[in-house]
Amino acid sequence: MISEVLDYLITDFKIIFERDPAARGTLEVLFCYPGFQALLFYRIAHFLDCSLNIPFLPRFISHMARFLTGIEIHPKACIGQGVFIDHGMGVVIGETAVVGDYSLIYQGVTLGGTGKESGKRHPSLGKNVVVGAGAKVLGNITIGDNVRIGAGSVVLRDVPSDCTVVGVPGRIVYRSGVKVENSLEHADLPDSQATVIRILLDRIDSLEQQLDFLRQETFLKREDILLEMENKPICCKLVDKEIQEFLEGSFCKDESRA
């Protein structure tokens, strides 16, 4: 069991050099990377709690790690190997949370619960998940593999694999068949709110133009007005579909328009 803990720590250490171009040396990572330090304390506390069933001490170690690093990880949380907590200040990982292998967590992230219920009440993250700065993933939900959660998003629903989540509340943008090569580029996210606002503004502009036509009814024949309105429809079914999906909390990118 101790050898397994050491293997996890070695993997946690090596992944930093792969994902952070600012990592320049062993001593720098050991003494200046709070994310790795927090995982080091967590691995020890988790071993004492789950393997040896020692009371109090694991929680005390977790508390000291929070004081020293600004990162709070409950000893009973399950964190896979190769997890990288970048910067890390303000990260909170709850008691029943699960973080899959090689996931990337930025500062200010919360993997928390939504109430006082007992049992499984925190999220489960799959492998290679990227959680952007300040994102909140709340409740007993499942986040699939290779998911990217945008900075500042609030995720309250299950997310399938290979998706991107943005917004408050989090909305899903499907990218089927497209693999994200550089997981650090989590800022390269679609802006679903801006897209829908643009659609609504275009619709208002169209309605204003048609209102101008109606005001000129005394000067134009009614047949000419109807013909003009038919040539300038207010919206198409595709636009209505995008707005409806946005309001329902599942803004999906149409691959044919990508």
Alpha helices for the chain (secondary structure H): 2-19, 26-32, 34-46, 57-69, 192-215, 222-231, 237-247
Instruction: Let me know if residue 8 belongs to a domain.
Output: yes
Per-residue pLDDT of 80-108, as tens digits, reads 999 999 988 999 999 999 999 999 999 99
User: Which pLDDT score, from 0 to 100, does residue 90 have?
Assistant: 93
**Does 49 share its domain with 102?**
yes
One domain, residues 22 and 70? yes
Residue 249 reports pLDDT greater than 50: yes
Residue 148 counted as domain residue: yes
| Residues 13 and 127 grouped into a single domain | yes
> What integer pLDDT is reported at residue 58 of this predicted model?
94
For residue 225, being part of any structural domain is answered with yes
Q: Determine the pLDDT at residue 219.
A: 59
Question: What is the pLDDT at residue 209?
Answer: 81
75 and 35 in a single domain? The answer is yes
Q: Which residues contact 18 (CB under 8 A, 6 or more apart)?
A: none
Does 218 lie in the same domain as 149?
no
Give per-residue pLDDT as tens, 138-153: 999 999 999 999 898 9
Picking from 41, 39, 26, 174, the residue whose alpha carbon sits closest to that of residue 105 is 39
Give the end of a domain, one of 114, 147, 174.
Answer: 174
Question: What confidence tens digit (pLDDT) does each residue in 212-236 have?
Answer: 777 766 555 555 655 666 665 554 5
Place of tokens 């991107």: 164
Angle, helix 34-46 to helix 2-19, in steps of 10 degrees = 160
* 26 and 53 co-located in one domain: yes
Q: Which amino acid is at 173?
A: V
pLDDT at position 188 over 50: yes
Stretch 123-143: mean pLDDT: 94
Other C-beta atoms lying within 10 Å of the C-beta of residue 111: 27
Question: Does 120 map to a domain?
Answer: yes
- Separation CA 14–CA 173 (nearest Å): 31
Domain boundary residue, one of 174, 207, 239? 174
Please give the Cα distance from 207 to 239 (Å, whole number): 15
We report the CATH number of the domain holding residue 114 as: 2.160.10.10
- Asked whether residue 186 is domain-assigned, the answer is no
In the chain, DSSP finds a helix count (H) and a strand count (E) of 7, 15
In this predicted structure, what is the pLDDT of residue 242? 63
Range of the domain at 110: 2-174
Percent of the chain with pLDDT over 70: 74
Last residue of a domain, one of 174, 208, 225: 174
Domain-embedded: residue 249: yes
198 occurs within a structural domain: yes
Domain count, the chain: 2
Average pLDDT across the chain, whole number: 81
Q: What is the per-residue pLDDT for 177?
A: 43
Whether residue 48 is contained in a domain is answered as yes
pLDDT at position 252 over 80? no
Say how far apart CA 109 and CA 93 lie, in whole Å. 8
Give mean pLDDT, residues 63-74.
95
Is 59's pLDDT higher than 60? Answer: yes
Query: 118 and 159 in one domain?
Result: yes
User: Does 41 share its domain with 105?
Assistant: yes
170 and 223 belong to one structural domain: no
For 238-250, what is the mean pLDDT? Answer: 60
Instruction: Give yes or no: residues 113 and 218 share one domain.
Output: no
Instruction: Note whether 152 and 209 are same-domain residues.
Output: no
How would residue 169 be classed by pLDDT, with cut points 50, 70 and 90?
confident
Q: Are residues 89 and 162 in the same domain?
A: yes
